[in-house]
Structure 1
Amino acid sequence: MAIAVLASLAMVASCGLPRSGPNKREIFAGSVEKKGNAHIVTVTPEVTRATAAQPVFGFSQSFRNAGVIASDMISPGDTIDVTVYENVKDDPLLGNSGQRVSILSEVQVDGQGFIYIPYAGRIKAAGQTPEGLRQAITRKLETQTPDPQVSVSRRAGEGATVSISGQAGLNGVYPIEASTRTLATMLAKAGGVTVDPAIAIVRVTRGSHTGRIRLNDLYENPSLDIALRAGDKINIEKDSRKFIALGATGAQTLVPFETESMSALEAIATVGGLSTMAADPTGVFVLRDETEAIARAVLGRNDLIGDQRIVYVLDLTQPTGLFEARDFQIRDGDTLYVTEAPFVQWQKTLGAITGTTSAATGLANTANGGE
């Protein structure tokens, strides 16, 4: 029996035991101070404040300062109906003899914003209201026919449109009308979004410029409800931020963000908490490639160049440990790693020894029974 136990100890010592990753001692051994390549930083309120940066979304001033366009503003691509009433009985300018009313239907506004009216020539229509265009046509014709009466109507939205794509309720091309001249009203027209508003991002592209905001911010901040312009492209995206959970947690997986921000404590809860029978609450780590500016602030050093690997340490057994975990923010690409408690390795060692010894005893009993 003693020989079997000694053999088991030798086998365990030489082969090692399975585990989910490095232990706390091994992580600290990889610190820069010990010739490793990562800075080990204990989370404090000062560290939490220095690392609290989150992605900044918003619209530029050019988006926010654009005024709401008139509901009947004419745009390139619009279709215009023009009716001219001439104050003559014979030989009218536009119609046949005896015809005092001339109807010019479905006049297309070209890409440069002009329309063509016989005897009036090319007239700039884009950027005008129907009333402004009516006056312009009248001025052109009144020198050729006495007291012309002109009526202009615009077929709503055929030129002034925006496109909506992505995670919207109903993708498509929508006209800018009196009730849909701003971003929020246009999204409502498209049926809202198909993802949780907490993780929905709205991207607006206008020409060569793009801005994006969180959907919840749009509803909470009226200044973000920008006026739309013909040709705007609106895309609804799902927040793509993720973090990795490894080690002695309820789940080892790639975890998407479910809210705009997520603390370390929320991240732990999201993956089922710490493993009761395996986790070391003094060894909760957040691994991150930190920017030069934040690394300098966290470490209090001005000699750092470029991004730095930093391992943030949370000790949940400390009096303020849970508060620090509640306040420390997880960021896109972070790795949350929880080490195993030291006794777990002892349990595995004893289990391996016990299993090996039992197997050896079984083999011995089998051999003895065969004699």
Structure 2
Amino acid sequence: MTVALLGGAVLLSACGLPRSGPTKGEIFSGSIEKGGTTNIVNVNDRVNRMANFSPAYGFGSDFRNAAQVGADVVRPGDVLGLSIWENVDDGLLASMGTSSTQLTELQVDSQGYIFVPYAGRIRASGNSPDELRRIITQRLETQTPDPQVMVTRVAGDGATVSVMGKVTAQGVYPIERPTRTLSAMLSRAGGVDIEPEVAVVIVKRGNSSGKVWLRDLYSSSSNDIALRPGDVILVEEDQRSFTALGALGGQTKVPLGNEQISAIEAVAMVGGLSTTLADPKGVFVMREEPQSVARAVLGRNDVMGDQRMAYVLDLTKPDGMFLARDFMIRDGDTVYVTEAPFVQWQKTLNSILGTATDVGAADSAFE
């Protein structure tokens, strides 16, 4: 009876022991060469050069090449103020005993026009205040002698942007002379209210959008783009991350931040390899590679579409640490470390011995 139970324990132990994930052999069995769907790639210097592609944040040429909005150009939605002086005691617009008339808060309608008494409906949109002054003067001088007109902008609400997300004061802000660039508008909204190191600034303009690290916005003037009416500025906390699994000091989802992180740094960030479980020959980085990168890594031009890749790092090789130091982690990567082969044997042995002890105890109970 004892032998039978012990034999059964061996079989059960071999197939039912707990573990942190697939073995190295099981991962290799899922390779393309063996009928699976994953490309298994041993990392070397060439692979590092080909695979270290990182989608960069930044604005396209359409954003960078846009000129600053003229702060003096009138637009639909702007509010104007008019002062009109007439060279007669009893003028068209002035009250009895006065020579000037104040027309405040004339809003430019959606079609770009304003209405001025005795001058009629006048197109204001697209003109500067000085150009609009000349137009109104020409309209009035046929009805009152030597009119003098002054046009001022009361508000710039016709050219506005929306500032949203992780900023101190969300809202709709006019593009004014001091706030015609991205950095100036963020300052106008009180700045960001998250750690600058993880702040990403997104600008949406029509059907286009671009994003930049807040740090890069202030370090490079080319990222401080000119704003356009209708722009939406969104400040978010960066969501890029990688997942650490297997025989590591911790298994968790780890934010990347705005720094480049290597495979060796990624392992260190979660407590390093487990000294009692990890196989240093079985460090994997798993990701989906775009077609162009997959072709370069595999050295094949017949690869079509995105490819599942499992990059293998062997930390026992003389240059293994250097290769892991140079292999960059990307958003969405999974860093997985397999258990050492002896760990499964040890688990099996412990399970067998434990079962044998239980069986011996049971036999003693029946004697």
Q: TM-score, normalised by structure 2?
A: 0.92
Unmatched tracts of structure 2, length 5 or more: none
Provide, for residues 100-121 of structure 1, a one-character-per-residue CA deviation record: whole Å limited to 9, x for no partner. Answer: 2111111111112221111222
Partner amino acid, structure 1, of 2:174: P
Unmatched tracts of structure 1, length 5 or more: none
Distance 2:206 2:136 in 1: 31
Displacement of 1:53 in angstroms is 1.7
* Pairing 1:20-59 to 2, within 5 Å after superposition: 20-59=20-59
Displacement of 1:244 in angstroms is 2.1
Alpha carbons 1:12, 1:352 under 8 Å: kept: no
Distance 2:248 2:355 in 1: 29
Residue 123 of structure 2: aligned partner: 124
Provide, for residues 7-29 of structure 1, a one-character-per-residue CA deviation record: whole Å limited to 9, x for no partner. Answer: 46534456431111121122222
Distance 1:315 1:54 in 2: 23
Residue 285 of structure 2: aligned partner: 286
Partner amino acid, structure 1, of 2:64: R
Displacement of 1:359 in angstroms is 1.8
Which deviates further from its counterpart, 28-37 or 307-316?
28-37
Alpha carbons 2:14, 2:348 under 8 Å: kept: no
Residue 196 of structure 2: aligned partner: 197
Residue 167 of structure 2: aligned partner: 168
Partner amino acid, structure 2, of 1:319: P
Partner amino acid, structure 1, of 2:142: T
Cα pair distance change 1:11/1:207, threshold 3 Å: closer
RMSD over aligned Cα atoms: 2.2
| Number of residue pairs matched by the alignment | 367
Is 2:350 the partner of 1:351?
A: yes
Displacement of 1:300 in angstroms is 1.1
Alpha carbons 2:69, 2:226 under 8 Å: kept: yes
Alpha carbons 1:8, 1:357 under 8 Å: kept: no
Distance 1:60 1:307 in 2: 24
Displacement of 1:314 in angstroms is 0.4
Distance 1:31 1:15 in 2: 22
Partner SS for 1:330: coil
Cα pair distance change 1:220/1:33, threshold 3 Å: same
Cα pair distance change 1:258/1:208, threshold 3 Å: closer
Partner SS for 1:179: helix
Displacement of 1:70 in angstroms is 3.6
Displacement of 1:247 in angstroms is 0.8
Runs of at least 4 residues off by over 4 Å: none
Alpha carbons 2:286, 2:311 under 8 Å: kept: yes
* Aligned sequence identity (%): 55
Alpha carbons 2:161, 2:174 under 8 Å: kept: yes
Residue 114 of structure 1: aligned partner: 113
Partner amino acid, structure 2, of 1:196: E
Q: TM-score, normalised by structure 1?
A: 0.91
Partner amino acid, structure 2, of 1:332: D
Partner SS for 1:204: strand
Displacement of 1:276 in angstroms is 1.6
Residue 211 of structure 2: aligned partner: 212
Residue 6 of structure 1: aligned partner: 6
Residue 231 of structure 2: aligned partner: 232
Partner amino acid, structure 2, of 1:60: G
Distance 1:300 1:363 in 2: 62
Residue 80 of structure 1: aligned partner: 80
Residue 17 of structure 2: aligned partner: 17
Provide, for residues 194-224 of structure 1, a one-character-per-residue CA deviation record: whole Å limited to 9, x for no partner. Answer: 3333332222122333222222221111011
Which deviates further from its counterpart, 206-215 or 336-345?
206-215
